[in-house]
A and B are shown apart, each in its own frame.
Chain A
C-alpha cells in the first residue's frame, strides 16, 4: 500500500495520544510541558499532511504560527516553573494544589 494521508493521520493520532497520556500520568511539570510540545508537534503533522493532500501551502503557514505559539508557551511556562521552584522548592504537580484547597 502506498503511503497516503491516512498513514500520516494515524501517526499524528498516536503521537498526540502519547503526549496526552504523558500530561495525564506524569507529575513532573517539566515533563508535562514536554508532552504538550509533543501534542503540538502531532497537530503540525496533520496540518502539513492536509496541505500536501490539498496541494495548498497555506497549512505550512499555520504550522509556522504553531511554532511561534509553541516557543512562546515554552518560554512563559518555563519562566513560571522556575519561579514556582524558587517559592516551593518543588516542581511536582501534586505539591501545587493551593487553589483547590
Chain B
C-alpha cells in the first residue's frame, strides 16, 4: 500500500514535471520543472530498489547537468529565450495526441491484466547498492567502463575546443 502511494506520487509528479518542461514558455521555468522531474525520478529509482542510481540521479542529473543548462540560459539573452507558443508548428496536434493516446492505450492494457507484472519480492540483499554495481562495473563490464571514460574525455576535448575557438575570434 505504501509502495503504491509512493509510486503514484513520484511517478505522477515526474510526469507533471515533464509536461511542464515541454509546455513552459520560458526556458528558465522549463529547466526548473525538469529538475523537479529528475528529483522525482530519483524517488522512482529508490522504489525500484536502486539506491545508488537514485543518489547519482540527484548528483549528476539534477546537480551537474541541470546547473550547466541553467548556466547557459543565464548566459544567453533573456528575451531571446522566450518563445511564442501560439505560433504552432504543423507537428503541434500530432505531438499533443501522441502522449495522450499512449497513456490511454497503456492504461487499457494495464487494466486488462489481472496482475500488473508483479516483481519477484523481495529484492535480493544488497541489490542495487554501490558495492554490487561497482563489482559489476569493474569486473564484467570493465571494457564498457573504459570505453565510456574515453567518450567523456572526447566530450571534454570537444567542448573545450569549441570554447577556445570562440575565444580566439573575439
Q: Is the CB of B117 within 8 A of A53?
A: yes
Q: Which residues from chain B contact A61 at a C-beta distance below 8 Å?
A: 133, 136-137, 140-141, 144
Q: How many residues of B contact A (CB 8 A)?
A: 85
Q: Is the CB of A34 within 8 A of B31?
A: yes
| Residue A97 interfacial (CB < 8 Å) | no
Identify which of residues 4-57 in chain A touch chain B, using a CB-to-CB cut-off of 8 Å: 4-11, 13-15, 17-22, 24-28, 30-31, 33-35, 37-38, 41, 44-45, 48-49, 51-53, 55, 57
Q: Is the CB of A14 within 8 A of B117?
A: no
- Nearest CB in chain B to that of A80: its residue: B162
Judged by DSSP, the binding face of A is helix
Q: Is the CB of B52 within 8 A of A60?
A: yes
B85 to chain A, nearest CB (A): 8
> Size class of A's contact patch?
35 or more
Q: Is the CB of A27 within 8 A of B72?
A: no
Of B19, B65, B109, B140, the residue contacting A18 (CB under 8 A) is B19
Which A residues have a C-beta under 8 Å from some C-beta of B? 1-11, 13-15, 17-22, 24-28, 30-31, 33-35, 37-38, 41, 44-45, 48-49, 51-53, 55, 57-58, 60-61, 63-65, 67-76, 78-83, 85-86, 89-92
Which B residues have a C-beta under 8 Å from some C-beta of A? 3-4, 7, 11, 14-15, 18-19, 21-22, 24, 27, 30-31, 34, 37-38, 41, 44-45, 47-50, 52-53, 56, 60-61, 64-65, 68-69, 72-73, 75-76, 80-81, 83, 88-89, 91-92, 94-96, 98-99, 102-103, 106-107, 109-110, 113, 115-120, 123-124, 127-128, 132-133, 136-137, 140-141, 144, 148, 151-152, 154-156, 158-159, 162-163, 165-166
